[in-house]
Copies of this chain bind each other. A is one copy, B any other.
């Protein structure tokens, strides 16, 4: 690949002249029209492309943002990743994708690696729970946006109000006549799963409970364990758990109500009554990109303030066909 030096040789100018011309902008206007044309033409025919690694080393800006999520195979994060990538790309940034797999060791490893890679910022679905723990690993000045799971003391964050979200779900279940539930809960270290479980436990009598990773497999195990008890509803603290439960229901024999967070694909077709409290993914994505861009601006730092969104409820037709105890 041709370098600035090559172009300089071909045009009998110096490396700095070429740099100035190709930089475009004010420094380019200070070059005579003649040589400017000559340089640009030479660069064009040579197919010159700046080496962005060299540029990064010099400018200390890589125009790369890292997105560290817990499970990119979850379509919820997939959708998020697409929106974030799209938006960042429009603003001239590339995306480095990392998957912690909900494992703290993996998360810490990435948190150490990424700054070495020279990322300009990090959008982060944390497993780590305190600002202090985070500050020990990350450079203090790295632009950071915490996504989905708030951390006390960190203002650059975007998440959904879990109390609103959970109470919304519970209200609907309650109106539907639910008194007892079985609970399939994700890891309780994760604030979203914990808060959802807590609120559901406050509002209903929990007659069975399974805890485990927020994966379909946990849902499937939960289904088996819930076979004997007869809850009015099964509540899952996220969509994957819900899918796991549904996966296990091959035939429909007086199905329990399913209450769950975020969307279940095809739910309105399923012959099983389902109500979901779903977060606004596009707004979350837009919010965290905006917070990132705000920090990337060298100029007027708007003060960090969390963006807190609300959920809306979605039910399927099967849900409306039956009402318990009525």
Contact = CB atoms under 8 A, between A and B. Distances in A.
A266 B268 contact: no
Contacts of A271: 269, 271
Contacts of A73: 75, 78-79, 81-82
A318 B1 CA distance: 59
Contacts of A270: 266, 269-270
A146 interface: no
A96 interface: yes
Interface in A188-223: none
A108 interface: no
Contact of A118 (B53, B101, B251): B53
A94 B249 CA distance: 39
A85 B62 contact: no
A71 B82 contact: yes
A52 B139 contact: no
Interface string A65-92: 0010001111101110110011001000
Nearest to A99: B85
A29 interface: no
B117 A94 contact: yes
A117 B81 contact: no
A97 interface: yes
Contacts of A243: 265-266
A251 B266 CA distance: 12
B99 A96 contact: no
A79 B74 CA distance: 8
How many copies of this kind of chain does the complex include? 2
* Chain A interface extent, by class: 35 or more
Q: Could you say which of A101, A112, A116, A139 has the most chain B C-beta atoms within 10 Å of its C-beta? A: A116
Contact of A72 (B74, B78, B99): B78
Contacts of A264: 266
A155 interface: no
A51 interface: yes
A92 to B, nearest CB: 10
Q: Could you say which of A50, A53, A265 has the most chain B C-beta atoms within 10 Å of its C-beta? A: A53
B117 A52 contact: yes
Contacts of A272: 269
Contacts of A54: 57
Interface string A99-112: 10100000000001
A250 B268 contact: yes
A116 B57 contact: no
Interface string A249-267: 1111000000000001111
A72 B85 contact: yes
A134 B27 CA distance: 35
Given A49-B116, A250-B317, 7 more contacts: A51-B118, A53-B56, A54-B57, A72-B81, A72-B82, A78-B81, A82-B99
18 contacts: A50-B116, A52-B117, A53-B56, A67-B97, A75-B78, A78-B78, A78-B81, A82-B99, A86-B99, A94-B96, A95-B97, A243-B265, A250-B269, A250-B317, A251-B317, A266-B267, A266-B270, A270-B270
